[in-house]
Structure 1
């Protein structure tokens, strides 16, 4: 198996490069490529992984040239410079490092609050210019003020913790913040309008999405307290900069401290030049510790994925830890093959996919197994699909995917995975398990018990349980020179519905399939491959 090859197209620490090499990966460290799009386009097809920071832009055009690419690692939180939808459609895992610079960014937000409250940059410039304007810079205390945090995730939580230590009252708006987590953090959860009305200082810590773009607009800024101060160390675009400048000019907003801007590098901006604005050039993660942390973290994540199949901090694939990957691998194979079996039997459009996890498998990473099963069902009609792209493609096609867990309810087997494919013509179902040898097995088709291993080439036959079928079936294959590897039968009742799953050494010609279909007991025959 060839050694996975990673391209680093932005500046990452030498420790990260060394970490990748120590894990057995081939690494090309070419940080100049992040700003040379043509050169990057010319070479990207040679790599399995791409490690970036903010200079490299991963566009749909770049991804279309990256035939080998399996993973993109962003050393940092934001993936604004990656077309995640295009990467997902092409089955490329996109990872970030949400924890490596959380403390650094939170500390910068706190520093900006102090700078804003005490006018430190303005006072520094005045003092160093030889003016001793002690009475000009009248600041405000942070103690006792109400800090409104918009977005209480990794960074917002650290800001809340530091602010509480500084004796601020902290309120938070975050749709995903549970009451229990709010209590644990010591913050009061509010809706957005209530936060805007109460906060003396507002600090933003949300990603830029269509829902959060201009979350502080002219309309929402009008809902804030008079004299409010606003800090943005998250993403440019969260605040309408023109509307904020107007609110600053009117005096409704007392001050603003921004580390991020709609357009970066920011050489001109509506906020520049206002006496009550503090600006820094996107320094939130700019400490030696953070740069080293995120570089090492993204290197470890990419190596774990390419070598072990472990998935951490992916924005478009369920997490799979390095510890669970070996145990999960045979069940991923089962989910994929079981889904593929049903997908190959289904000609009509698929409306839904239902998975039921019974026994020990119900305690595993069912999100990853669900992705594998959906991939299997859709792969017969979409050969390029994989675990990354499958859930998104299912959503795009309006396919409802449902997963149910039933721990401890598989009496005959330690673990059972059942899949039902709801197609427009009829539902189809099958179940499987993994034996102690680690090999997946089919144990039920159409509610009929069977015991069959998956093979490269198989024939699936539905027939009536009547004498003569096995002899005629074997004669047809034998006369055609088709060698039978394994032969498995099942039925629902004597003389009722029966199934046959037969492994053969090579694909069966169409004329032989026609002969099998003509056997009086046969209702339907379909070749399947794995």
Structure 2
């Protein structure tokens, strides 16, 4: 495994990587230079300088891209996801640094500190021009209650401010008991005296604060942005600052960086810093160490802590659902080895104790198992959902939680142009995985190694004929399972084998009287 670090990274993170893998540090590469060498690496670690474009991703054989920081707008995450490349970041390492910088800018804007410092340094003693406002008793609007937004809210409460917050993904009761009042975006921007932003830059947050929303704000509002440039329409903000609608703003980020041509930085009521939110010695070490550890986990095939384009599993739940993740993938693989047809719908049904957990990782594993055998593009836990939806496959997830103490069962039901089929599985004690049904045939199959599955009419002697044929070809049978719908009716036989079954032997089995089909399965 080889890792490329293409931006400046704290040596503590590089040292951790070097303990496990070969690491090259090559900074200030152009897109063309990076494209020339990227195919030689399994992992890429960046900060904000390197732009990981679709061209770079398409040229690569990467397994993981790590961002030493929070924002990933310099990485084409969609292209990485489609190719099955995991993207990880380090959202916790700079939380304190970013929240402290936000509060520092909040206070600086409220008390006109930079302008007052500049005035005094120019040998002027001017106190009247820099009268500020107090924070205590004022309302701080916090847009985005992630780690940083919540930490800013805590600090503001400690300063005696009222906190009014907007975040569509936060449960109201979870934050209101810590004195943060939750409201819709319009209410926040209408009622706040100060507004601070802590959201990622996405299609929905781009220019979320425009001329119309600025007009809803209180007169003399103060705006802080330490999140991402592009959240605020800078032209609309400039006009509002000039007119006095917005009394002041403090910006650490800009839509185009460096913003040397931006008229905003020339205004006297604008405090501007050069993207310093994460620029503390402690934060740089923290994000480097955090991303390095996740890169190592990813390359070792372990569950990562901070996935950007994969479902997060809480550590305390992982051990409980891991055997079901493995089982679901094998169930999906079994189905597409056994049957064919154009898939239109995949339904995953969960019963028993597994319904207590977030089952989406299990569903994703089932989809991965299905797609692995039918797509040229490698399917994994990163891109399985994406690839399924790209093919127009409808995905349904159901929990039937009548008895959450009962053994956990998973039913995979697939609809194709040839009908509906299903595979059912469970996990016994000591994490023993079993496939317990295929369609209406009840079996007890250990999903490991090799198996022969044959469909036939239930009659005396047919099991022996198949067994003798395998014996003549020196293929050892490890176990046998038989499921049937009725006496002398249709039956399914499963023979676990210690060796692969050649195609010519499989053809001979299919010629046995009353055998309708025979399939060799690899788990």
Q: Same fold (TM over 0.5)?
A: yes
The separation in 1 between residues aligned to 2:198 and 2:404, in whole angstroms, is 45
Paired position in structure 1 for 2:389: 395
- Structure 1 pair 27–519 and aligned structure 2 pair: CA distance change class (3 A): closer
1:14 aligns with 2:11: yes
Q: Please say if residues 157 and 185 of structure 1, whose CA atoms lie closer than 8 Å, have aligned partners that are also in contact.
A: no
Distance 2:9 2:276 in 1: 16
Deviation at 1:70, TM superposition (A): 1.4
CA distance, structure 2, for counterparts of residue 293 and residue 363 of structure 1: 34
Classify 1:322/1:175 alpha carbon distance in 2 versus 1 (closer, same or farther; 3 Å). Answer: closer
Q: How many residue pairs align between the two structures?
A: 521
Question: After the TM superposition, which of the residue ranges 243-252 and 303-312 deviates more from structure 2?
Answer: 303-312
- Structure-2 change in CA distance of 1:238 and 1:410 (3 Å): closer
Q: 1:473: Cα distance to partner?
A: 3.8
Partner of residue 173 from structure 1, selected from 162, 166, 170: 166
Distance 2:491 2:380 in 1: 33
Q: Higher mean Cα deviation, 180-189 or 85-94?
A: 180-189
Question: Once the 2 structures are TM-superposed, how far is the Cα of residue 327 of structure 1 from its aligned partner?
Answer: 6.5
With over 3 angstroms needed to count, the CA separation of the structure-2 counterparts of 1:74 and 1:458, relative to structure 1, is same
Q: Does residue 62 in structure 1 map to residue 56 in structure 2?
A: yes
1:37 pairs with one of 31, 35, 38 = 31
Structure-2 change in CA distance of 1:305 and 1:206 (3 Å): same
Cα distance in 2, alignment partners of residues 183 and 327 from structure 1? 31
Q: CA shift at 1:318, angstroms?
A: 2.1
Are 1:148 and 2:145 an aligned pair?
no
- What is the 5 A alignment of 1:15-414? 15-22=12-19, 25-32=20-27, 34-67=28-61, 69-307=62-300, 309-320=302-313, 329-362=322-355, 366-383=359-376, 384-405=378-399, 414=407
Distance 1:434 1:169 in 2: 50
Paired residue secondary structure (1:185) = coil
**Residue 445 of structure 1 aligns with which residue?**
438
The answer to whether the 8 Å contact 1:351/1:399 transfers is: yes
For 1:442 and 1:92, the matched residues in 2 are separated by: 30
1:160/1:187 contact within 8 Å kept: yes
Return the offset for 1:367.
2.7
What displacement does 1:396 show?
Answer: 2.4
Residues in 2 aligned to 1:279 and 1:299: alpha-carbon distance in whole angstroms: 31
- Check whether the contact 2:142–2:163 (CA below 8 A) recurs between aligned residues: yes
Secondary structure at the residue paired with 1:54? Answer: coil
Q: Distance in 2 between matches of 1:173 and 1:329?
A: 35
Q: Which residue number in structure 2 is paired with residue 467 of structure 1?
A: 460
Q: CA deviation at 1:186?
A: 1.1
Normalised to the residue count of structure 1, the TM-score between the two structures is 0.90
CA distance in 2, matches of 1:51, 1:185: 37
- What per-residue deviation string (whole Å, max 9, x for no partner) do you get for residues 351-379 of structure 1? 22222344455556633222211100111
**What SS is found at the alignment partner of 2:294?**
helix
**Preserved contact between residue 304 and residue 322 of structure 1 (Cα < 8 Å):** no
Question: Hey, what's the Cα distance between the residues in 2 that align with 1:158 and 1:468?
Answer: 73
When residues 323 and 160 of structure 1 are mapped into structure 2, their CA distance, relative to the original with a 3 A threshold, is closer
Secondary structure (helix, strand or coil) at the match of 2:435 reads strand
Instruction: Tell me if structure 2 keeps the 8 A contact 1:8–1:27.
Output: no
- Would the aligned equivalents of 1:346 and 1:423 in 2 still touch at CA under 8 Å? no
Distance (Å, rounded) in 2 between the aligned partners of 1:203 and 1:428 = 53
Pick aligned residue for 1:488 from 473, 481, 488? 481
- Checking the alignment, whether the CA contact within 8 Å between 1:462 and 1:497 is kept in structure 2 is yes
User: What is the CA distance between 1:85 and its match in structure 2?
Assistant: 0.9
Tell me the distance in 1 between the aligned counterparts of 2:168 and 2:120: 45
Q: In 1, are the aligned partners of 2:367 and 2:385 still within 8 Å (CA)?
A: yes
In 2, the alpha carbon distance for the partners of 1:141 and 1:153 equals 26
1-side partners of 2:38 and 2:315: how far apart? 27
Q: For the Cα contact (< 8 Å) 1:255–1:277, is it kept in 2?
A: yes
Contact 1:17 1:27 in 2 (8 A): no
Distance of aligned partners of 1:335 and 1:497 in 2 relative to their CA distance in 1, 3 Å threshold: same
Please provide the CA RMSD for this pair.
2.6
CA distance in 1, matches of 2:322, 2:135: 53
Task: Note if contact 2:353-2:403 (Cα within 8 Å) is conserved in structure 1.
Answer: no
Whole-angstrom distance in 2 between the partners of 1:136 and 1:408: 69
| 2: CA distance, partners of 1:110 / 1:322 | 32
| 1:526 shift after superposition | 3.3
SS at match of 1:61: helix
Query: TM-score, length-normalised on structure 2?
Result: 0.92
Q: Which runs of 5+ in 2 are unaligned?
A: none
